[in-house]
């Protein structure tokens, strides 16, 4: 097999800010996995929180190129098992490789990833679109521009979180979800949950820091007026079990867990445990979004607007129209890209 690694800069439509910082463009690594005349695509992007950028992702992947050259491809799951231990615990790199393996397998075997995993594209949830942190007038302008979207996910973790949601509620009838990105205390979370519930918010994502004491998570879980979804607290497979009893649901992201292979298992385990299922994304191109979209039939909540937030991108795949996913077309993850555009 041959792995080609491309570092790409993805320009955003507008500044994107959360409680930890702001960006205007995204560093991405798009990989092409070649075998038997076909190509699978995968992607991972920079994340300051998870301490990965294009250089760390690329250098981990470059180290496995010689091993891949002699590797005989059977299934994406076998490839994941073989290469996960060789990637220095760099699950962002592993995710890009695993997405490419799933895409490639589908192209070699004339199947789509979701169908191969026993899923059908029926009654799939709609995706939220993300409202980032900013001055109130900008936030309201952003909300106005998403008038046709049925679900808004609002980034919080500011000194005036409740004012923001109250102002939004006066300007939209859309379903609101909020993401505090680890910025709240136990007391703030419980107090905010009561007001947010009155404002018709559906759930709160990751109010406490990922390393908050178990007892703090348990108090929030038991006393919050709204369901609590784990994002930063649910990264890899073993976290699903750890979140059971401390969260009402989990937000799976390919880059956190190391790709589609573990993501399918995590969502199925969450279903068995009675946890709500969600898949999220980073700001990334149609390559990673089309891979994550394969999980959508397993979800209660989808938050896969990453490519929608870009001004331009070199890939073409699963799209969102006012929150509605287009059905993945073609084999694998249903994505193509044009390397000449980067
Ligand atoms: Mg989040």
CB 35 within 8 A of CB 1: yes
Predicted confidence (pLDDT) at residue 19 exceeds the cutoff of 80 = no
CA 71 to ligand 1 center in whole angstroms:
36
Predicted confidence (pLDDT) at residue 341 exceeds the cutoff of 90 = no
Number of domains in the chain: 2
Q: What is the mean pLDDT of residues 116-140?
A: 94
Predicted confidence (pLDDT) at residue 88 exceeds the cutoff of 90 = no
Is 242 annotated in a binding site? The answer is no
> Of the residues 46, 217, 253, 256, which is catalytic?
253
Q: What is the mean pLDDT of residues 89-116?
A: 98
Same domain (yes/no): 70, 189: no
Average pLDDT across the chain, whole number? 96
Quick one: pLDDT band at residue 268, thresholds 50, 70, 90?
very high
Same domain (yes/no): 222, 332: yes
Q: What is the mean pLDDT of residues 121-148?
A: 93
CA 155 to ligand 1 center in whole angstroms:
8
Residue 159, both tokens: 């000194």
Of the three residues 85, 112, 139, the one that is the final residue of a domain is: 112
Q: What is the pLDDT of residue 330?
A: 93
CATH number reported for the structural domain that contains residue 101 in this entry: 3.30.390.10
CA 179 to ligand 1 center in whole angstroms:
6
Quick one: pLDDT band at residue 176, thresholds 50, 70, 90?
very high
Contacts of 335 (CB under 8 A, 6+ apart): 41, 103, 286, 287, 290, 291, 315, 316, 317, 318
CA 22 to ligand 1 center in whole angstroms:
15
Alpha helix positions (H), 4-87: 54-69, 76-83
The phi and psi torsions of 107 (rounded to 5 degrees) equal: -70, -35
Q: What is the mean pLDDT of residues 106-117?
A: 98
Same domain (yes/no): 88, 144: no
Distance of CA 56 to the CA centre of its chain: 19
CA 227 to ligand 1 center in whole angstroms:
14
Is 205 annotated in a binding site? The answer is yes
Q: How many helices (H) and strands (E) does the chain have?
A: 12, 15
Quick one: pLDDT band at residue 22, thresholds 50, 70, 90?
confident
Q: What is the pLDDT of residue 20?
A: 79
Scored b (16 or more CB within 10 A) or e, 155-165 reads: bbbbeebeebb
Same domain (yes/no): 66, 155: no
Q: What is the pLDDT of residue 198?
A: 98
Is 231 annotated in a binding site? The answer is yes
Residue 107's domain spans which residues?
2-112
Same domain (yes/no): 166, 265: yes
Same domain (yes/no): 90, 181: no
> Of the residues 46, 155, 256, 276, which is catalytic?
155
Of the three residues 82, 112, 142, the one that is the final residue of a domain is: 112
- pLDDT digits over 38-81, tens only? 999 999 999 999 999 999 999 999 999 999 999 999 999 999 99
- Whether 153 sits among the annotated catalytic residues: the reply is no
**Could you tell me the pTM of the whole model?**
0.96
Quick one: pLDDT band at residue 9, thresholds 50, 70, 90?
very high
Of the three residues 112, 134, 157, the one that is the final residue of a domain is: 112
CATH number reported for the structural domain that contains residue 289 in this entry: 3.20.20.120
- pLDDT digits over 216-234, tens only? 999 999 999 999 999 999 9
CA 116 to ligand 1 center in whole angstroms:
28
Residues of the chain with pLDDT > 70: what percent?
Answer: 100
Same domain (yes/no): 229, 322: yes
- Whether 253 sits among the annotated catalytic residues: the reply is yes
CB 302 within 8 A of CB 278: yes
Same domain (yes/no): 168, 298: yes
Same domain (yes/no): 134, 263: yes
Q: What is the pLDDT of residue 340?
A: 84
Same domain (yes/no): 98, 159: no
Predicted confidence (pLDDT) at residue 259 exceeds the cutoff of 80 = yes
């Amino acid at each position: 097999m041959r792995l080609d690694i491309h570092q790409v800069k993805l320009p955003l439509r507008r500044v994107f800010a959360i409680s930890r910082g702001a960006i205007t463009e995204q560093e991405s690594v798009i990989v092409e996995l070649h075998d038997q005349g076909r190509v699978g695509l995968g992607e991972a992007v920079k994340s300051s929180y998870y301490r990965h950028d294009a250089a760390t992702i690329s250098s981990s992947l470059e180290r496995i190129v010689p091993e891949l050259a002699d590797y005989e491809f059977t299934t994406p799951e076998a490839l994941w098992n073989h290469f996960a231990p060789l990637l220095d615990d760099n699950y962002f790199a592993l995710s890009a490789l695993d997405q490419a393996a799933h895409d490639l397998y589908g192209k070699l075997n004339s199947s789509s990833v979701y169908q191969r995993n026993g899923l059908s594209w029926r009654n799939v949830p709609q995706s939220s679109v993300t409202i980032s942190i900013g001055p109130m007038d900008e936030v309201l302008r952003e909300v106005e521009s998403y008038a046709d979207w049925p679900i808004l996910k609002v980034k919080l973790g500011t000194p005036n979180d409740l004012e923001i949601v109250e102002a939004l509620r006066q300007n939209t009838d859309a379903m609101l979800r909020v993401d505090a990105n680890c910025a709240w205390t136990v007391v703030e979370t419980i107090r905010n949950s009561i007001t947010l519930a009155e404002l018709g918010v559906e759930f709160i994502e990751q109010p406490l820091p990922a390393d908050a004491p178990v007892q703090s998570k348990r108090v929030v879980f038991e006393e919050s007026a709204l369901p609590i979804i784990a994002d930063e607290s649910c990264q890899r497979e073993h976290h699903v079990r750890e979140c059971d009893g401390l969260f009402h649901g989990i937000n799976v992201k390919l880059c956190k867990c190391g790709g589609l292979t573990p993501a399918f298992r995590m969502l199925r385990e969450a279903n068995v445990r009675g946890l709500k299922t969600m898949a999220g994304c980073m700001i990334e191109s149609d390559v990673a979004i089309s891979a994550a979209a394969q999980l959508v039939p397993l979800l209660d909540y989808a938050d896969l607007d990453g490519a929608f937030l870009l001004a331009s991108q070199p890939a073409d795949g699963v799209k969102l129209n006012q929150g509605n996913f287009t059905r993945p077309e073609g084999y694998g993850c249903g994505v193509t890209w044009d390397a000449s555009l980067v």
